[in-house]
Amino acid sequence: MAYVTVGLPALGVVAAIVFAVRYGFTWTDLGLLAGMYLVTALGVEGGLHRFFSHRAFSAGPALTSFLGVAGSMAAQGPILFWVATHRIHHAFTDRDGDPHSPRPIGDGRLARLRGLWHGHVGWLFTIRRANWSRNVPDLLRDRLVMRLNRYYFGWIVLGLALPALIGGLVDGPRGAVGGLLWGGLARIFLLDQVTWGVNSLGHTLGRRPNPTRDNSRNISLLSPFSVGGSWHNNHHAQPALAQTRHTRWQLDIAGLFIQLLDVAGLARDVRYPKKSGPRGDSE
């Protein structure tokens, strides 16, 4: 499965570039790429990460379903697997047992490079998938989450079909192909690299303003693309919070999205930093 997860989006982005060289890159292509990226990035960071993994806020069935579907359309694994892997990461961060720690592997000059590769994508080919369910007992008891998890591959298909359908309605057959390639496969590839980059670079490069027991780091340049997930040292310092920004200038799109859901009454019991409320004001 890892070969499909890694290989198919990579082939898709190559096909998208070839298609753009032959038929051009349109505003529709860009809009579908950006729109689908934002939806699925929020599904991953706001949904799979902050909601399902850390329970940083509560949600009713409609919002739970949206976050589950949006996160699943990113094709980074079913909800239960994604959450179990992430919880194991927090339990053993940068130690034996961490699924994707980028610690040096072996000896010699390439040890750090091998570790970085493992932390970025290599772990997908070596991770043990047995007994991971013990890390998600709360989700196993949730019938809605189990239904969302069961239809994981259907949500991936939806994430490919939706931009193709919209592109077709706007630009005809050419738009449908462009939507599939840019809003579908290329979008999955790009979001994968950002998410995996937080796993690898987020424990190798960047600033450490918070003294944590691990090597987590903040990478400001990735913050808009990770919708706030790259404030990784902030997150590891306070993993249960719905926001990762510690200063006003730190961009946390997922955190702002959760705030809006709170103000609209769709999210409940949101765990904010002590000096921040649902509108970002000091308490």
Q: Which residues pair with 207 in a beta bridge?
A: 218
Residue 129, pLDDT score? 67
pLDDT tier for residue 275 given thresholds of 50, 70 and 90: low
In order of 36, 191, 227, the CA distances from 187 in angstroms are 7, 6, 14
Task: Give the chain's end-to-end CA distance (angstroms, integer).
Answer: 48
Report the distance separating Cα 141 and Cα 123, nearest Å: 28
Reported as a single tens digit per residue, the pLDDT across 245-261 is: 999 899 999 999 999 99
pLDDT at 278 over 90: no
* Mean pLDDT within 214-242: 97
- Average pLDDT on 15-40 reads 98
Locate tokens 């600033």: which residue?
A: 207
Residue 267 φ/ψ, nearest 5 degrees:
-110, 145
Q: Measured between alpha carbons, how far is 136 from 85 in angstroms, rounded to an integer? A: 10
What are 165's two structure tokens? Answer: 């359908």
pLDDT band at 70 (very low <50, low <70, confident <90, very high): very high
With a cut of 70, say whether residue 282 has pLDDT above it. Answer: no
Orientation angle between helical segments 187-200 and 27-42, nearest 10 degrees: 40
| Residues shown for the chain | 283
| Contact predicate 153/173, CB 8 Å | no
239 within 8 A of 90, measured Cβ to Cβ: yes
Confidence at residue 36, expressed as pLDDT on a 0 to 100 scale: 98
Q: Nearest CA to 44 among 72, 14, 84?
A: 72
Q: What is the dihedral of CA 155, 156, 160, 166, to 10 degrees?
A: 20
Both tokens of residue 276?
């921040």
Cross-strand bridge partners of residue 267:
59
Angle at the Cα of 126 from the Cα atoms of 124 and 127, rounded to 5 degrees: 70
pLDDT at residue 279 is higher than 80: no
CB atoms within 10 A of CB 271: 16
Does residue 276 surpass a pLDDT of 60? Answer: no
Of residues 126 and 217, the one with the higher pLDDT is 217
How does DSSP classify residue 228? Answer: T
Q: Please tell me the predicted confidence (pLDDT) of residue 128.
A: 75
Burial of 200 (0-12, 13-18, 19+ CB in 10 A): buried
Mean pLDDT within 20-33: 97
CB 243 within 8 A of CB 276: yes
As a whole number, mean pLDDT of residues 103-113 equals: 88
